[in-house]
Structure 1
Amino acid sequence: MIRIAIIDDAVEIGTQLETILIEITTNKGIAIDIDIYYSGKELCEHLQNGEFYDLIFLDIEMPEFTGIDVSKMIRDNLKNDATQIAYISGNKEYAIEIFEYDPLYFVHKPINKEKIEKVFERLIHRLHLQADAFTYKTGHNIVKIPIKDIIYFESEDHQIIIHYYTQNEYHKDSFYGLLDHVQKQLKSFQFLRIHKTYLVHHLYVRKYAYDKVYLSTGIELPIAQSKRKEIRAEQFAINRKESV
């Protein structure tokens, strides 16, 4: 699901944009979730409380807290480079000012379906380029780890510990979340849920035993009794794909 925020102090613009987005994504068979805000300050409060969006349609000319102010908070204060921002304005001169905030697109008012389709096509392209990275939020930072570098995930006290390699060095980090959600997010990659506590990347499994896996890092992790039959079947399916 793609999470989208619309920020415009004009109610009719927000409603029009929402209608266009629903029409576009319905035709493409893409699931979206849309939130509408009528002030930049309101959006910033939600972002500071941990809300995350894949795409933000951001009106530049708003009273008190402008679109530029919101951009500074997202990119500079929250260190969030993952969220894509499509700017909306009737003034083309802003196209230069927003350049430093890595805009996805500049939508010149009035908006229409054709313009928004171009935004969405570019968004899908960028998301596909980022698809081989796992993104998570820790503190006020958005972190992206290449899938190929992730060894395994571990669940501990409402936190997820991610174990990974970067430049041949072992690292680990943590973030709040559920391992079930991580597993769903990575369902198209070769991650095996060997235990309620562990989600392991097949790439780093050196050997499968009856009740445990041996990782190439030297770590041994248990396979839950209830998972053993399922893991053997998944292992067999992966090995068949790799041998083709």
Structure 2
Amino acid sequence: MTIKCIAVDDEPLALDMVSKFIEQTSFLSLQSKFDNAIQALGYVNQNEVDLIFLDIQMPDLSGMELARILDGKTNSKKPKIIFTTAYNQFAVEGYKVDALDYLLKPFSYEEFLKAATKAYQFFENQKKNTVTKVEIEKQADYIFLKVEYQLVKVMLKDITYIEAYKDYVKVHLKDKPNPVLSLTSMKSMEDLLPADTFMRVHRSFIINLDHIDSVSRNVIHIGNAQIVVSENYKDSFMEFLNKWVG
């Protein structure tokens, strides 16, 4: 498998280095290179690109802005991104646009190859499965959660409840003292989890119905947690509750 790449960087030396690294990596194919993100966007809109090695700090249109534009595309062919930057403060933003990796300048070929190999493994998994990424995550009795720059397998039966926490979600697990912290939204988790087992009961909580210990009025007890059912979700929860006790 060959991954079609472009490189984008406004610094000529950095652009030449990344381009050289791509060309000496057997499974990467350099399609083009750009010193600004606007030209790169035009190319991506007209050509098939699998992977972009993308600088962040650029004039006119930054690499992060380009990444957000591409992330907003609805087609499944949108390219993946590996950021190449001298600034580490953009790491969280990189998570939000689902970047594959984040290379901090100056980086060696060894570091570049490690990131490129991660991309290769990602595309190999896509090739082996004809379903979309979301469908892959929904299969069987587990999901994958993005925790830092890795995917962590979590069994559905072990999830007791999910709690919103700033830009993250806390996934609380049975018999685990600490929750798994994943940079995603409650809406994404709600869409990902099977509706016959998991229910949104509050803008900040999704519960695993199988782990409910008791219910008192509008409060759900799961272990030591007490989760209030908000007004917006009360009707759907009461419908479940009536079936549960009936």
Q: What's the TM-score once normalised by structure 2's chain length? A: 0.52
Counterpart position of 2:79: 35
**Of 68, 84, 88, which aligns to 1:45?**
84
SS at 1:85's partner residue?
helix
CA positional deviation for 1:200: 0.6
Counterpart position of 1:73: 115
SS at 2:237's partner residue?
helix
- Letter in structure 1 aligned against 2:84: E
The question of whether the paired residues in 2 share the 8 Å contact of 1:191 and 1:201 is answered with: yes
Counterpart position of 2:181: 174
SS at 1:9's partner residue?
strand
1:59-101, CA deviations, whole angstroms, 9 ceiling, x for partnerless residues? Answer: xxxxxx98x97562266xxxx69x8434xxxxxxxxxxxxxxx
CA positional deviation for 1:204: 0.5
What does 1:18-167 align with in structure 2 at a 5 Å threshold?
32-35=76-79, 43-45=82-84, 49-50=94-95, 51-52=97-98, 72-73=114-115, 84-86=121-123, 103-104=124-125, 119-121=128-130, 127=136, 131-165=140-174
The question of whether the paired residues in 1 share the 8 Å contact of 2:49 and 2:79 is answered with: no
1:211 counterpart = 2:232: no
- Letter in structure 2 aligned against 1:234: F
Unaligned runs of 5+ residues in structure 2 are 6-28, 33-42, 51-73, 101-107
Aligned residues: 174
Distance 2:80 2:165 in 1: 35
Counterpart position of 1:9: 30
1:226 counterpart = 2:235: no
Unaligned runs of 5+ residues in structure 1 are 19-29, 38-42, 55-64, 87-102, 106-117
Q: What's the TM-score once normalised by structure 1's chain length? A: 0.52
1:92-151, CA deviations, whole angstroms, 9 ceiling, x for partnerless residues? Answer: xxxxxxxxxxx548xxxxxxxxxxxx7454888x92785532333333333221111111
Give percent identity, aligned residues only. 11
Q: What is the alpha-carbon root mean square deviation over aligned residues?
A: 4.5
The question of whether the paired residues in 1 share the 8 Å contact of 2:138 and 2:192 is answered with: no
CA positional deviation for 1:44: 4.5
- Letter in structure 2 aligned against 1:221: I
